[in-house]
Amino acid sequence: MIQDIALFLFQTIVFPGVFFIVVLAFGSNWMYRKFYARLQRRIGPESAGIFGILQGFADYLKTATKEDIIPYGANQVIFKYLPVIAPVPVVVGMFFIPIIDTKGFISSPGDIYAIVFILTIVTTTEIILGWASGSKFALIGSSRSGMQLVSFGIPFIFSMLYAIIKAKSFSLEDIVLSQTGTKLKFLPNWNLFGLGGIAFLIFIICALAELEKPPFDTPEAETEIAGGWTLEYSGRGYAYILLLEDLKMVFVISLGVVLFLGGPLGPTFGLGEPWIAVLYFIYFSLKYFAVLLILTLISSSLARMKIRHIVFGSWTYLAPLAIASIILTILLEGG
């Protein structure tokens, strides 16, 4: 009994729980920036910790110790307290992701529903955060964020639908298990290979939009609207927003790994119970960083798009492509 409670506490607070997720968030922040810099022949973060690996944490600490400034026109309550609870949904979402097992910490037959709900709620939080700061630039950023949600929501869900159709289930565990085995004797049976490639491409594009990384960083567009919805936040509020952005990155990339790259699956070499978890963890991290690198490569090689182009492009190319890929999947691979 006590052992169970201890395990539960350990799992919630330390390992697949909050601590691990936050560490992963800061790690991904560092990884993104380091890789982004190396693509541009810069060094990137290098002072905080070895190779600057603590840079994300250092930034968070530094911002958190700064003065909190609440603007005159802001909605006082929302401005003060919403940033604090904004990262919570993402952390909850991470509990669904299977990392050391084929099953997540929380697992239910309707995982995908919860995940889509969390993704939407995060963007909505951002819109409210921007609106509550009472600045014109922040309001423009909020409205752009909303427009991106409207234009990328449908393709995003449709790209996830591929994995759902393949697994014939809404549970992430079934989706992972449906990707066991091999294809054509040498390729792993991941959703990425074959028709799922199109869905993966759409997923990556929508992920960039969800993360507000270039070329879809219009809601924050530094040179146009000076930071968009994050503009008025300072001190602890901004620190939480930084954390939210990093956590979002962890969540979306992990989702991509689970849906298209087979999650923690990989050759097990016939190992037993405790070692298989370690192997799963290693495979998951490798895939995670691979997806992160793809994201960085795309976002570093493109210029920021205009919101008009984004809405047009999404509805004229991305959404039809997503729907077509789903129809093809149903026709060719059976639904």
Is 211 among the residues that bind another protein (CB under 8 A)?
A: no
CA 59/CA 66 separation, integer angstroms: 11
> Strand 187-188 relative to strand 182-183: parallel, antiparallel, unpaired?
antiparallel
* The residue to which tokens 């802001």 are assigned: 74
User: Cβ closer to another protein: 10 or 312?
Assistant: 312
User: Cβ closer to another protein: 168 or 308?
Assistant: 308
Q: Which two tokens stand for residue 84?
A: 């604090």
Closest separation in Å from C-beta 56 to another protein = 19
Closest separation in Å from C-beta 29 to another protein = 17
Identify the CA nearest to 120 among candidates 150, 155, 88, 95: 150
Q: Which of residues 267-286 bind another protein (CB under 8 A)?
A: none
Query: What single string gives the DSSP state of each residue in 71-107?
Result: -TTS-HHHHHHHHHHTTHHHHHHHTTS-SSSSS-SS-
With vertex at residue 278, the alpha carbon angle to CA 49 and CA 161, rounded to the nearest 5 degrees, is 95
Is 302 among the residues that bind another protein (CB under 8 A)?
A: yes
CB under 8 A: which stretch of 159-167, 180-188, 235-243, 299-307 binds another protein? 299-307
CB under 8 A: which stretch of 104-112, 223-231, 245-253, 256-264 binds another protein? 223-231
Asked whether the beta carbons of 264 and 283 are under 8 A apart, the reply is: yes
CB under 8 A: which stretch of 25-33, 51-59, 94-102, 212-220 binds another protein? 212-220
Closest separation in Å from C-beta 126 to another protein = 18
For residue 184, give the amino acid letter. L
Among 224, 277, 289, 315, binds another protein (CB under 8 A): 224
Number of H helices, E strands in the chain: 14, 2
Give the binding site for another protein (CB under 8 A).
35, 37-43, 136-137, 140, 214-215, 217-218, 221-227, 297, 300-309
